[in-house]
Amino acid sequence: MKYWQLSFSVVVVSILLLLSGCVDQEEVLAPKSGETGHLAKTVTGDRYLVGFTNSPDAGIVEGVGGQVTRTFTIVPAVAAQMSPQAADALLKNPNIAYVEPDYEMFAHSQTVPWGIDRVFGDESYSFSTWDISTGNDIGVAILDTGIDEDHEDLKVAGGETTVDDTHWGSDGSGHGTHVAGTVAALDNNLGVVGVAPDVSLYAVKVLSDGGSGTVASVVAGIEWAVDQGIPVLNMSLGGSSDSQTLRDACDAAYAAGHLLVASAGNSGNPGGRGDNVGYPARYESVIAVGSSTQNDTRSSFSSTGPDVELIAPGSSILSTLPGDEYGTYSGTSMASPHVAGVAALAWASNTGLTHSEVRQILRDTAEDLGLSSNHQGYGLARADLAVAAVSGAEPAPDDPTGILAGTVSDAETGSGIQGASVTVDGTDFSATTGSDGSYSIENIPEGSYDVTASADDYVAETKPATISGDETTTLDFALAQEEDDDPDDPVNGELSIDVFDLTDSSNPAWARVTVNWAVSGENLSSVQSELILDGNVIDSQTSSVSGSGASGEHSLRNRNGHGNTYQVKLTVTDTGGNSVSETKEIDL
C-alpha cells in the first residue's frame, strides 16, 4: 500500500504523491481555529475561510485587500484570498468571528473488494430485505471526485461541482464512482450490485480528479446537498485537522434533518491504539465509519477512537469504476457507503422517520463483532436488521403534550396587539401574535409553567398556566401601555424604519424571503427581522448597528414551507432599549 508522504512547517507544505494503480492519499485540513489560526500557510495559496458574527459582509474582506471567492448560506462565512497581513487585520474587526486557512482535503485511501453480502447478514442474493425496501424515494449525495454518469451500472439523478470547472458527471480519479457503486449499483445483471439499488444518486464533486479539494469546496458541497433537500450525505474524505467552518456546516446540515456519513480515516495502526479519527467524521453531527475485513476483524489501516460509531466492510471491496469498469479498493472510504446505503434502505421503508431516529436504528441493529468500541463503535451495520426494525416496530409513544392559545390585547381599548411575544418561561416555546392579537403554541409537555406576554410600548404581564395532554389551555393577556416618564424625550419618537421591502427568493427546498431595510434614529443598537407563520417565529436574523442610520439585507427561510402566507416583522432598537416595529405579509 502506498501513501501520501507529508512534511510541513508553518510556512511550507510539501506533498509527495506516489502512484501505482490505486492511489492512497493522506488528508490535510485546516488547523483548529484559535490554536494556529491564520498563521499557518494554506496548502493551496493564500486562501482563507472567514467567519462573521452576523451576516457575511464582503466589503469587510475587500477593505483589507482581500477577495471573496465564495459566500456560504449554510454558515455565516466566506472563502477568500488574501495575504497573511490582511488576515491579521481582519482578526481585529469585531464583526469577524474567526479566520482560518482553507486547507486541502483528499479522498481517503483506496487500494484493493466484497461487502454487500455481509451487511445483509444470513440473507443471500437476491436479498429478501429488498422485498421491503430498495431505497426508493431517498436521495443519497456522494461528496467525492464525481461519478461517471455514463456507467452501465449506475443511474445518476444529478449533481454539482464545487471544486473546479470539471463536470460532476466525470470522474478522473475513480474514487467517487467506486463509492457510488457500493451505495447504488443497479440490480441489472451487470457488474456488481449496491446496498440500495433504487436510491436517487447525486454526484457532488468536491474533490478534483487528483483526489484533492478544500474545506471550502466540501462546505459548498454540503450546502448544495442541503439546499436540494437530499436526505443522506456520504463523505468518503477527510483530513487530520479541525475546521470551524466545516464543523459548523456539518452541524447545520444535521440540524436541518440530514444524515451525514463519513469515513473514519486510514490512520490506524495494526495494534488499534490511539485516537486518530479524522475530520469531518470526528464531529458529533457525523456518523464515523471504520473498516472491517472478510474475517470480521478491524482493517489494520482503519482509524480508531471514541468517535467511531459503526464499522462496515472496507477491505478489498469490488465496485464500479469509470468507463464501465470494475475494481477492488480498500479503505474506510469503501466502508462509509455501506452505511449510507443501509441508512437509505431503512429510511425508505418509513419516510416519516427523522434523521436522528434512523441513526439510532443503525446503532440499535448493529452486529457486535466482539471488537473494542473504539474499533467498531456500536458494531457492524446490518441492512436486514435495520429495515426489519423499521418495518416491524411499533411507533414509540410520545410524551403527552398540549396546546397553549389565547389573545394579547390592549387593556384600555380591548383591541388585539399584533406582533406581541408570548413566551413559556424556562423553555424554548414561544409565539408572536397575529393581526388580531391571537397566538397558539403547540407540543408543550404536560406541566405547570409561567407564561409572559410582552409588546413594544406595553408593560409585560406574566401568568401561570397548566398544560394537559391532548388539550388546549386558553390564556388571555390584557397589557397596559407604558407611561412616558419624559414626554419631551425624543429618542423613541426619532426611531424610524425608512425602507422595508420584501422579495421572494425561494428555491425548491426553501421558502425564503429577502428583507431589504434602512433605519434611522439616535444611538441605534440593532435591527431584527423575524419570519412568522401562524403566530410562531420560524426564523430570525439580527444585525448590530450604530450611529444615526443604517441599511442592510436579511435572508429568512423555512424548509419545505412553500404555499403559506407569512408575516415578516422588522424591529429597530436604540441603545436605550427603545424600539419601533413594522410587520408585512408575503406569500411564499
- How far apart are alpha carbons 361 and 345 in whole angstroms? 12
The answer to whether residue 554 is catalytic is no
The SS3 assignment for 88 reads helix
Side-chain-side CA neighbours of residue 87 (13 Å): 26
Side-chain-side CA neighbours of residue 30 (13 Å): 33
Residue 372 CA, chain-centre distance (Å), reads 30
- How far apart are alpha carbons 480 and 458 in whole angstroms? 6
- Which one of 144, 198, 248, 307 is the catalytic residue? 144
CA-CA-CA-CA torsion sign (251, 253, 259, 264): negative
- In eight-state DSSP terms, residue 564 is -
For the CA atoms of 105, 108, 111, 114, what is the dihedral angle to 10 degrees?
-150
Please report, for residues 66, 103, 113, 335, the alpha-carbon distance to residue 79 in angstroms, rounded to integers and kept in the order given: 10, 11, 38, 31
- How far apart are alpha carbons 489 and 479 in whole angstroms? 23
From 197, 195, 219, 221, select the one nearest 362 (Cα to Cα).
195
Residue 222 CA, chain-centre distance (Å), reads 7
From 106, 108, 105, select the one nearest 215 (Cα to Cα).
105
* Helix ranges, 377-490 (H): 383-392
**Secondary structure, 3-state, 168-203:** CCCCCCCHHHHHHHHHHCCCCCCCCCCCCCCCEEEE
- Which one of 175, 258, 338, 554 is the catalytic residue? 175
The SS3 assignment for 84 reads helix
- Which one of 109, 217, 319, 333 is the catalytic residue? 333
- How far apart are alpha carbons 232 and 345 in whole angstroms? 11
Angle between helix axes 244-255 and 215-227 (nearest 10 degrees) is 10
Please report, for residues 208, 436, 485, the alpha-carbon distance to residue 180 in angstroms, rounded to integers and kept in the order given: 16, 53, 69
CA-CA-CA-CA torsion sign (152, 154, 158, 164): negative
The answer to whether residue 170 is catalytic is no
Inter-residue contact 341 to 135 (CB < 8 Å): yes
Backbone angles phi, psi at 169, to 5 degrees: -85, 5
Residue 351 CA, chain-centre distance (Å), reads 19
Longest Cα pair distance anywhere in the chain, in angstroms? 85
Please report, for residues 44, 50, 81, 274, 539, the alpha-carbon distance to residue 40 in angstroms, rounded to integers and kept in the order given: 12, 15, 14, 26, 37
Q: Does 280 sit behind a cis peptide bond, omega within 30 degrees of 0 on the bond before it?
A: yes
- How far apart are alpha carbons 237 and 253 in whole angstroms? 17
Query: And the C-alpha cell for 443?
Result: 407540543
The answer to whether residue 529 is catalytic is no
Tell me the residue length of the chain.
Answer: 588
The SS3 assignment for 133 reads coil
- How far apart are alpha carbons 277 and 265 in whole angstroms? 6
Residue 306 CA, chain-centre distance (Å), reads 22
The SS3 assignment for 214 reads strand
Q: Which residues are catalytic?
A: 144, 175, 333
